[in-house]
Structures are given as structure tokens and as C-alpha cells.
Structure 1
Amino acid sequence: MLTQDDKALLAQKGISEAQIAAQLACFEKGFPYLKLEAAASIGNGIMATDACSLDGYVRAWENYKKAGHKVTKFVPASGAASRMFKNMFEFLGGDHNEPQTDFEKKFFSQIEHFAFYNDLNEACLRNQGKDIPALLAAGEYKAVAANLLEAAGLNYGALPKGLLKFHKYEDGARTPLEEHLVEGALYAAGADGQVNVHFTVSPEHRALFEKLVAEKAEKYAAKYGVTYHVSFSEQKPSTDTVAADMDNHPFRDEKGRLVFRPGGHGALIENLNDLDSDVIFVKNIDNVVPDRLKDDTVTYKQLIAGVLVTLQERAFEYLRLIDSGKYTHEQIEEMIRFVQQELYCRRSDIKNLEDADLVLYLKSKLNRPMRVCGMVKNVGEPGGGPFLAYNQDGTVSLQILESSQIDMKDPAKKAMFEKGTHFNPVDLVCAVRDYKGNKFDLTKYVDPNTGFISYKSKNGKDLKALELPGLWNGSMSDWNTVFVEVPLSTFNPVKTVNDLLREQHQ
């Protein structure tokens, strides 16, 4: 039963009582596992390209940009870097004063190789009166860690990854935010030299992001001959989800107030939907490399974008043909092959449909948002797996799935997941307008049955948390989806601070 205070809180957040009821029902019934047909692989859902086709798709992308289309680079950047420093927090709070684990030993023995070394050295001098070598020689390892993580020093333990110094250059160190600005200039600049970059940030860090852009954008604009339009948004309060207790009733804090939690990255479909753009690249904030390694990133971003706009133009031609009413039986057969073989959306009974129903079906499948996703070979890194999965309408299409969406108690399904050859490192390019130039309402293409329930605690009490369908999982479930193999060199995430010591980040 909702109180007047509850209703006032819902109104403040922009959440309806019906939404709360639907969320609580999810806790009661859970989420069904997806029915799988197969893991996608080369030749069965994942497209491989040779040098000739790569060049053709890169040219297609360049021609698309020259035609004046608006392109945006969308970077989810709101996550705090606290998990990146988990090992160092454990060292700081631990009983031992000198490095013991392999992780700790590597961090301190190679500390001068981090791009933030000079800043950390200055913080140590300011707060301890000693530089890093002197502190380490005196065994004061924890003082160095404290200056890295805590507010009196660099405060890296509380900042988002996008604002941390990742890479060294002769003219200074760069943050991931800056690397994304550079990437934008290299593959997402419009014919007029405009580069649109959009970061989703948390409210408490927005001013810091804006300050860094104000300081740095002009430098990169001059270097690459572009003009930047950098925008920011925050996860909307209306996408928060209510927490539940173990009996699936609304969880309340010690003052009796409803407890809400962020809905996960799936909430960002709303932010994506708000962008006024024709094509949108989506890439995580921490997957960046120094300039000397950017060639592959740029080439394969152009490749997947070229595949996208080539497929989109064919879909548009078919839709205009359907609207004209002047199509032949052969052309309908061609459309069926395009939908089934190139967009990988298959329907087993398609040959049984009456002509009028067949045309309506083809139009419904062609007139949807479209995305092309880069897939890298699976080398044990975490990421969404590419699958051919059944949809609610009985069709089978390509989906990016997390392990939580797969019934791991079913040996056949578990084997599919474990033997998957590829995964998606959040490398997407999206077409979000229809063939008449209107923006799709992306919220209408979400599969609400693909959320996720996790278990957390607050003030010592257990609770259930509801995550919305993931941005590149269920939130894009009803899109046309195509998978393209890209090299592992395009995937260089930074999950822990020591990942910055990898050759790819030096």
C-alpha cells in the first residue's frame, strides 16, 4: 500500500504507480530465460570481411558522412572508478604495510609507468613532504596509496574513469574523455567538420566533466581541424527501480521511505532516444588506446558503420518499393532473402503467409532501428555473447545475451554459452531514423522480459534490486541486428588500475 509520502516521491521522480506495481510483479515472477537456437559464429550470424569488402564499406561510410548526415558518439561514462581500485583499497585497509599480493607488488614496482605518476608525486610531496621514491624507500607504501585514492590526494577512488589519466604523451597525459574526443575526430566528423560527442555522467561529476572539456576541446579541435559539440546527460530519476524485501514487498529504509536504485545501463536507452542524430556510435569510456594504436580502432569503426549504412539503404529501398505498391513476386522473394539471410531475422512459416500478410510482415521487420555490433574472438574477457534467440513473435534473430539470461542448468544451453567463439565488447553503431527521416521511439523496441534481479543489502538488511533490460541486450531486442567480426586489438578495457600497465596502454 502506497502512502501519501510514497506518492509524493513517485511524482518527484516521474514514476507512475503502475510502474511500481509492474516492477514488484517482476520480483514475484522473475524473468524467463531466453530460448536459444545457437551461439552465433562466423558463417552463422557473424560476418567476416576481407580486405576488399573492408575498403568498400569504409568508402560507403565516408560517402554517407559527405552527404551531410548527423553522426554522434555516445559514451556511457557515469561509473565511478572505485572497482578499478578494489585491490588498492584492500591494501590500504589491510593489516600488512608492504605489498604482499602479486597485484600490489606489480603496482608499486611499476608505479612510474602510470600516466598519473607526476600528479601522484606532487600530491605526495604536498601531503607527506616526500616524493614517491622516498616514501617507497621508507616503506610508506600506504601513504602513496592514500594519496592516490583519497580526497586529500588525487581522489581517484571516487572519480569516474573518464577523468583519470590513462595514457602518456610528450605534451602531457590524456584521460579517456580526451581519447574519445580524438576518436570522434578520426571517424565521426561530419562533412562540415562537426564532431558530436555525448557523455552520460552522474550528477556529482558533471561539473568536472564540463570543466575538462572546456580546458581540452579547443586543443584537439585545432589539432584535427574539427569543431566539437560535446553534450552531457544523466540517468533519469524516472528510470530508477524500487527495491524489494525478500517477500517481494517494497523495501523501506529506517524512516519508512521507499528505497530506489539506479536501473542499470539499460536506463540509458532513454538518453540515447533523446539524441537528435542519424547514426550513433556506442562505446564504453574505458575502451581506449593511445594514438599509436588507434589505426585498427578507426578502421573497424568505419567498417561497421559502412556495413550499417549499406544495409540501411537497402532496407529503405525495399520500404519505398512496398509503399509504391509496384513490386513483383521476384522482388518480394528478394526482400525475404534480405531479411532472413542478411538481417538474420528468420521466420519458419514465412512461406505460408498470404501475400498481404507477407508484405506487412516484411515492412514491420524492415522498418525498425538497426545496429551493427563488432564481435571479437572470445579470449576469456567478460562480455555479452552473440546468439540466435527466439523472440516473442516466434521469429529467431541475433541478440547479445548475458549469462543471467541463459538457463545454465540446461546442459545444452550452458554448452552454447561456454563454447561461444565471440563476444561483444560494447562496440555498436546504431541507425535510429526510419526511411521517411523520422526518429524511431527507441523505448518501443525494448523487451521488458529481459530484466535482471540481483541481491544487495542496505543497513544490514537484504534486498532485491531490479535492473532494466541492458542497453545493448534487451533494450535493443527488437532492433535489426548484424554482427561483424573485428580484431581483438579494438578491445582494450581498463577493469583494474594494473590494466594500465599493459602494453596497449603504455
Structure 2
Amino acid sequence: MFNAEDLVFIEERGSDLTTVKKQVRNFEQGFPYLEIIQAATIGKGIIQLNEDHAQQFIDFFEHKLEKGISLLKFVPASGAASRMFKSLFTAKARLENGTPEKEVLQDKEVQCFFNGLKKFAFYADLERLTGKPVEQLSALEVLNLVLTEQGLNYGNLPKGLLKFHQYQDHSRTSFEEHCAEGALYAKDQQGKVQMHFTVSPEHKPVFEAHLKAIKSKYEKLFGVHYEVSFSQQKPATDTIAVDLNNKPFRNGDNSLLFRPGGHGALIDNLNDLDADLIFIKNIDNVVPDYLKAETIKYKKALAGLLLNYQKRIFNYQRVLDERHYTALDCKFYAEASAFLENVLNVKPPTNQYYAEKEELYHYLKSKFNRPIRVCGMVKNEGEPGGGPFWAKNADESISLQVVESSQINLEDKKQADIVKHATHFNPVDLICGTKNYLGEPYDLLLLRDPRTGFISYKSKDGKELKAQELPGLWNGAMADWNTLFVEVPILTFNPVKTVNDLLRKEHQPD
């Protein structure tokens, strides 16, 4: 399968040969579907907070802050924003090929963009670039100014560096909005806001320059000190590509082709970070200041809820670590089992009751001794994204999992019916506790479910290929975590998938 040059290439790029061979086998065998048991709904896997409960958890979070817990905000921000401008790139190509402007502007997405042009936060930048009203420009001139190096170059920049929101006397990029958010819920007792962004290597210098330009402004505005770090997806997490016969795909120079392994590769980056509490949120899910209150409230409430449940988990961890299984009475086993099954929603394998004390002791110890995450869930209003389900794990236990539609066999009527009755979906709003009661970090790489990867079809140099994505960061990469789902308001979820999403009222000035 691999020649001597391949082996040298694999080693030099930091990949593991055994892992690469396993990836090829995955192409040959395919990934199994994940068996979902039922959709998680309010009262059956999803916690719904009333105002009193939310305030109690906020108070508990702030109490723990006073005790000195460390916080970190983790923001996946890799990749260019080119997909945001797909319709505009298409329009640009049509205009360059001679299609009449009037015809191109009949496209709904393109029409929406031009009709709302003055409402974009980057509109003033366009006028500065041209020195004349943008309305006097042709459609092609405007598109070139927005998308290419002739102007803003937004088609090649990452989302984090695009201007999202207009304020009275300034505008903000989504990176700046995350800095503002971080100051409002991720500030520790010393006023430090620790933030980490995963970025592409080619974009890191631009991010660093942007940070340098705005850092002191936001430190003064919020009375904080930012500690911002950046990392890239590690080359070792790239996956090998194969041709349609599952043979390693080769470039024109006969070298092997490796491709980025998707956002699941970021579990390696997360594993390198050190904090008691880690907030995870996508780069494009931010709102202007006047709408931030609800986001801040629920971030703190979910953090307090995690810390509250984690405190109880730590108690069980400590007892199970310090005492022999014979020294624990039936009352402890009953209480611990009930908490695991009814609160943490981890059901033992069917017909497995662990009648023997020693068996039950080891089962409880393994299930409590895991990181914990709290995932915000919003009511399903037709947005794409993974959903909250009860699912069967590799060890036949049943627990809460964030599941993508690609992981489910939708041709199976029973599985499709479960999906049809789902009420919520995952907006990527996570808070994580990645240490045990002794403050020791878990090795997150050992807690992935390798069965939950994904195969897609791509092409390179005119040749078709098969690519492989690693288990998703909030899907299979966190499969073996203790998981809690909490309903959060839809207002806390305002992603920007296309440029026209910035015209929604949630991204416009008050």
C-alpha cells in the first residue's frame, strides 16, 4: 500500500502509520450508523430552567469565581469565509462571462445583498475605498471591492476578521464581539480574560495584527486584561484521502494526499488547554451589545449548573478513589447509581444490573471519572445542525449525545421517525469541565468514539476522491463525556452562514 518514500513522508508530516492504515480501513469498511433510542426533549434529557433556577446557578458560578476558578473561552475560527459569499462569487463569475447585470440581479440572494448594501457594517469601508458613492459603481465593481484584493478581500479572509456590526461611531468584527463577550462572562477574579482561537496558519498573522490594533481599546472599555492565544489544526490530525477504489490518492508528483480532518481535529487543540471551565462557541455566533444580556445570563447559568453537578460528581469520584469496594454500603451504591442514571442520564447496558458489588464499583468509577459538558439546546426552527438524542454507545450503555443527521440511518423508518419528533437542535453552545476532583486534566483524546467519523466525496485536479472527517468536536469526539442538555433561548443563537444573515434584525443596530 505504501512505498518507502510514503513512509518517510508520513513520518515527516507527524502522522502515525498505524492511524493512517486504520483510516484506509475505514474507507473500505465504512462507518456504522449511530443507533438513536429517542429524541431528547424537555423533561426527558433536556433541562428547562425557570428564572429562579437560572439565578441560583448564576449565583453559584459567581461564588466559584470568587474562590478563584480559572476560565477560558475557546473559539473555533479556522478557515476562510468564502462559503459566506458563495452566491456573490457565482454572480461575479456570471458578470465576467458577459451575463447582463439586470439578469444577474434577479437572483434572490444577490438582489437581497444589493438592496441591503447600506446596512452592512462594511459599507463605509467600501465608500472610503472608492472615494465616491457606491451606488455609482457597477455590480461587478462592487463585488470585486467586497470579495477580492482590489478592495476588502472578504472572500479570502476568515469570518473572524469581517465587520459584522455597526455602532454609532464604530464597527466591530466578530473577533471584537467575542472579545466583548469574553469580558462579560469569562473574566476571572484578577480581571483576566483568557481566550483561545483556532485559526488557519495563513490567517494567524492577520489575527495577531487585528488583536494588537484593538486590544488596549477593549481592555480600557471593559476594565479587563486579555490573554489571547492562537493555534492551528495539527498536521498529524489530517486524514489520508483515497480514490474511488479505496487506494491512497496520489498527487501529480505521486505523493500522498492528506486533508484536514474537520472540526473534530480540534479536540487535540482543546486537549492542550488548561482551565477549570472552558466556554466553546463558534466565531460567527455573536450579536451587538444591546442583545448580549440574554447570552451572558445563560452562559453564567449554564456554567453554574455545570459546577453544581460537577461538585456532586467530584464527591463520588473521591469516595470511589479512597475507599475499597467492600467498604461501601448498599445505600451509597443505590444513591450513586440513581444519580448516574437519573441525573447524568447514563443508562447501563440492557439487562446489565451489576448485581456484584465489585462490578458495580468499577462501572460507577469509570462513568464518574470523565469530563463533563453542558450543551445549550434551542428549539428547532428549521436551522441546520446536530440534535440532542439518547443514543447507544460502544459499550452498549445509553446516554445523551449530540448527533448529526449523517450519523443516522434515515432509511430506517424507526430511526427516521425518532428524528422527525426531535424538538431541539445543537447551536454549538458548550461549557466544559475537563479536570477531575484533584485538578488533574483528562486525556480527551482517549474519550472519542472512533466509529463516528464521516466519509465524503471530493475532487482534486479533476480526479474524484474520498475524504474522511474525524469524529466531530461536539459529536463523537466528546462521546465518552458526561453530558447535560439545557434549553437556551433562540436569541442566543444567531449564526452568520451567508453574508445576507448580517441583514437580520439581530445583527443590525438597535
TM bucket, shorter chain: over 0.9
Whether 1:122 aligns to 2:128 is yes
Distance (whole Å) between structure 1 residues aligned to residue 452 and residue 11 of structure 2? 26
Q: What corresponds to 1:100 in structure 2? A: 106
Over residues 407-427 of structure 1, what are the superposed CA-to-partner deviations in whole Å (9 max), with x where a residue is unaligned? 011011112113210001100
Deviation at 1:64, TM superposition (A): 1.6
- Counterpart amino acid of residue 234 in structure 2: K
Counterpart secondary structure, 2:233: coil
* 8 A contact 2:11–2:17 mirrored in 1: no
Over residues 46-72 of structure 1, what are the superposed CA-to-partner deviations in whole Å (9 max), with x where a residue is unaligned? 011111111111111111221111110
Deviation at 1:235, TM superposition (A): 0.4
Q: What corresponds to 1:456 in structure 2? A: 458
Distance (whole Å) between structure 1 residues aligned to residue 64 and residue 329 of structure 2? 29
Distance (whole Å) between structure 1 residues aligned to residue 49 and residue 255 of structure 2? 55
Q: What corresponds to 2:205 in structure 1? A: 207
Counterpart secondary structure, 1:120: helix
Whether 1:2 aligns to 2:2 is yes
Counterpart secondary structure, 2:182: helix
Q: What corresponds to 2:229 in structure 1? A: 231
Distance (whole Å) between structure 2 residues aligned to residue 455 and residue 424 of structure 1? 25
Gaps of 5+ in 2: none
Could you tell me which of 312, 315, 322 is aligned with 1:314? Answer: 312
* 8 A contact 2:191–2:223 mirrored in 1: yes
Deviation at 1:386, TM superposition (A): 0.5
Cα RMSD after superposing both structures: 1.1
Deviation at 1:321, TM superposition (A): 2.0
* 8 A contact 1:368–1:480 mirrored in 2: yes
Distance (whole Å) between structure 2 residues aligned to residue 329 and residue 349 of structure 1? 20
Could you tell me which of 110, 117, 136 is aligned with 1:111? Answer: 117
Deviation at 1:328, TM superposition (A): 3.2
Over residues 219-246 of structure 1, what are the superposed CA-to-partner deviations in whole Å (9 max), with x where a residue is unaligned? 1111111110000000000000010001
Distance (whole Å) between structure 2 residues aligned to residue 266 and residue 209 of structure 1? 22
* 8 A contact 2:389–2:402 mirrored in 1: yes
Whether 1:501 aligns to 2:499 is no
Counterpart secondary structure, 2:480: coil
Q: What corresponds to 1:394 in structure 2? A: 396
Whether 1:430 aligns to 2:428 is no
Could you tell me which of 260, 269, 272 is aligned with 2:270? Answer: 272
Distance (whole Å) between structure 2 residues aligned to residue 168 and residue 461 of structure 1? 44
- Counterpart amino acid of residue 467 in structure 1: E
- Counterpart amino acid of residue 117 in structure 1: Y
Deviation at 1:352, TM superposition (A): 3.7
- Counterpart amino acid of residue 286 in structure 1: D
Q: What corresponds to 1:465 in structure 2? A: 467
Distance (whole Å) between structure 2 residues aligned to residue 398 and residue 13 of structure 1? 36
Q: What corresponds to 2:338 in structure 1? A: 337
- Counterpart amino acid of residue 145 in structure 1: L
Number of residue pairs matched by the alignment: 498
- Counterpart amino acid of residue 26 in structure 1: N
Matches within 5 A, 1:121-200: 121-125=127-131, 130-135=132-137, 140-200=138-198
Deviation at 1:164, TM superposition (A): 0.2
Gaps of 5+ in 1: none
Q: What corresponds to 2:49 in structure 1? A: 49
Deviation at 1:494, TM superposition (A): 0.4
Deviation at 1:143, TM superposition (A): 0.5
Using a 3 Å threshold, how does the CA distance of structure 1 residues 187 and 350 change in structure 2: closer, same or farther? farther
Q: What corresponds to 1:31 in structure 2? A: 31
- What TM-score comes out, normalization by structure 1 length? 0.97
- Deviating beyond 4 angstroms after TM superposition, the runs of 4 or more aligned structure 1 residues are none
* 8 A contact 2:263–2:473 mirrored in 1: yes
Distance (whole Å) between structure 2 residues aligned to residue 277 and residue 171 of structure 1? 36
Counterpart secondary structure, 1:323: helix
Counterpart secondary structure, 2:317: helix
* 8 A contact 1:371–1:479 mirrored in 2: yes
Could you tell me which of 236, 241, 245 is aligned with 1:247? Answer: 245
> Matched residues, percent identical?
51
Deviation at 1:327, TM superposition (A): 4.0
